[in-house]
Structure 1
Amino acid sequence: MTSEPVFDPAFREGFDQLLRWRRDVRHFRTTPVPETDLEAMFDAAALAPSVGNAQPWRFVRITSPALRMTLAAHVDEASAEAAAALPDAERAAAYRRLKLHGLREAPVLLAIFNDEAPIAGHGLGRATMAETLRYSTVMAIHTLWLAARVRGIGVGWVSILDPDYVTAQLDVPQSWSLIALLCIGYPEAPAATPELERRGWQARESIAERIFER
């Protein structure tokens, strides 16, 4: 029998620091990410929990320069439309000043999909909550994110986009649904405080306001 590991106070403190330094990165250096680190990140993601052990995550690595530019232009357009739709002019101006992605400079781009009909898992646990498949893929993304950060590598989640457009560009099976477009690389200036908080967009609020009892 394998003995259970002991996570001592030093480990717990280090883990807390990892969570605090896991930031959504938008400013990347162009330094390549070692393949060994990428492989380790994928291995870590595969350890994420999944409903019925379905492991529905599917990773598409985008290596085509033309496709990179196409996606960057699409996100720029979607961002401009989102800013124009904001009713408050001051907030819209602040939005336009934000850097919302690193698609052009991040050395690694990953599109992460959820297989909506995986053979693995045989449907266990999701008969009444099919969305648990997507939750599983999000857990894999978060696990990959932590595995990246512990190696000094940053991740940026690009969410201002049309999922159907991105999916069509990547030519994946029809049963796959886009969950995330990620920029991965070394941050220009690592920070423990979220960039949106540093730029005055939104501060982190107290967790006490989000805990309820019934």
Structure 2
Amino acid sequence: MKRAEFPLEQRRGLYRAIYERRDIRLFRDDPVPPETLARIVRAAHHGPSVGFMQPWDFIMVSDVETRGRVKDLFVRERQAAAQFFDDARRDQYLSLKLEGILEAPVNLCITCDPVRGEEVLGRNSMPETDVYSTCCAVENLWLAARAEGVGVGWVSILKLPQLRRILGIPPHVVPVAYLCLGYPVEFPAAPVLQSTGWRDRLPLDELVHYDGWGKQPAQGYWEEVQEALGADVDPCNGD
């Protein structure tokens, strides 16, 4: 049977979007063309969802006053979070640029409606799959944006009850991701939190278990997989 993989050039494009996706905080003034934004949001709407529940909604935000209220909320929460770090770590934390709420041409809040659909296949045992599914939509949006040359920044330092009030979100709906979108000043070569020394990327081969938590691979296929995971190779290597 013929395998269904994409041609090599298309696979390289996909992996490039994955590996070069960044959390963007610095944006240019250039507006995002409506058709480009539509393609990106459409990609999010095609994210996988358990039981095809499609629990997401997309709140587009351009109003300056509304963005200002979100920015004020961010500033308060950032100052509150800073108190949990020691002096050196606090200074580093406060020096980081962690949002582009006022600078980005587009703000977008992606929400999760946990009661959408009376019967959702596959959700009885894991009700949290509504939020998990919404995160898949976020990732689809992020990768599509990177392919379009558009940067995305996820602003997570926001209290949900206050964000609900600002955006008029119903009490039962969960704001999952508040995103800033726009053309970036640059796509950094590495994640900012990595390049600034805040945190390193963990070695993948140390995070994979085989046939149970903490178990090492038996000889054969799993052993070859472990060796491949520990190698620094081209994601399309072998073609």
Q: What is the aligned partner in structure 2 of residue 80 from structure 1?
A: 79
Bigger shift: residues 34-43 or 171-180: 171-180
Name the aligned partner's letter for residue 46 of structure 1: H
Q: What is the aligned partner in structure 1 of residue 96 from structure 2?
A: 98
Bigger Rg over Cα: 2
- In 2, the alpha carbon distance for the partners of 1:207 and 1:167 equals 37
Kept after mapping to 2: 8 A contact 1:31/1:107: yes
- In 1, the alpha carbon distance for the partners of 2:99 and 2:90 equals 17
Residues 110-137 of structure 1: CA deviation (Å, up to 9, x unaligned): 1111001002x72211111110011000
Q: How does 1:37-56 map to 2 (within 5 A)?
A: 37-56=36-55
Name the aligned partner's letter for residue 24 of structure 2: V
- In 1, the alpha carbon distance for the partners of 2:198 and 2:114 equals 35
Name the aligned partner's letter for residue 44 of structure 2: A
Q: What is the aligned partner in structure 1 of residue 60 from structure 2?
A: 61
The number of residues matched between the two structures is 210
Q: What is the aligned partner in structure 1 of residue 109 from structure 2?
A: 111
- In 2, the alpha carbon distance for the partners of 1:30 and 1:74 equals 23
- In 1, the alpha carbon distance for the partners of 2:12 and 2:41 equals 25
CA shift in 2, pair 1:192/1:16, >3 Å:
farther
- In 1, the alpha carbon distance for the partners of 2:158 and 2:202 equals 27
Name the aligned partner's letter for residue 206 of structure 1: P
Out of 180, 205, 210, the residue aligned to residue 207 of structure 2 is 210
Q: Which runs of 5 or more residues in structure 2 are unaligned?
A: 213-239
Residues 169-204 of structure 1: CA deviation (Å, up to 9, x unaligned): 111223211101000001111123101111111121
- In 1, the alpha carbon distance for the partners of 2:16 and 2:146 equals 11
Kept after mapping to 1: 8 A contact 2:107/2:179: yes
Q: What is the aligned partner in structure 2 of residue 11 from structure 1?
A: 10
- In 2, the alpha carbon distance for the partners of 1:27 and 1:166 equals 22
Q: What is the aligned partner in structure 2 of residue 156 from structure 1?
A: 153
4+ aligned runs moved over 6 Å, structure 1: none
Kept after mapping to 1: 8 A contact 2:77/2:157: yes
Q: What is the aligned partner in structure 1 of residue 219 from structure 2?
A: none
- In 1, the alpha carbon distance for the partners of 2:105 and 2:4 equals 35
Residues 61-120 of structure 1: CA deviation (Å, up to 9, x unaligned): 11211010110111011111111221x21111100100110001000001111001002x
Name the aligned partner's letter for residue 12 of structure 1: R
Aligned-residue sequence identity (percent) comes to 38
Name the aligned partner's letter for residue 106 of structure 2: V
Q: Which runs of 5 or more residues in structure 1 are unaligned?
A: none
Out of 126, 142, 158, the residue aligned to residue 145 of structure 1 is 142
Kept after mapping to 2: 8 A contact 1:196/1:202: yes
SS state of the match for residue 43, structure 2? helix
Kept after mapping to 1: 8 A contact 2:21/2:142: yes
SS state of the match for residue 108, structure 2? strand
Residues 18-76 of structure 1: CA deviation (Å, up to 9, x unaligned): 11110011111121111001111111111111011010011111121101011011101
Name the aligned partner's letter for residue 20 of structure 1: Y
SS state of the match for residue 110, structure 1? strand
CA shift in 2, pair 1:4/1:41, >3 Å:
farther
- In 1, the alpha carbon distance for the partners of 2:5 and 2:125 equals 37
Name the aligned partner's letter for residue 52 of structure 1: G
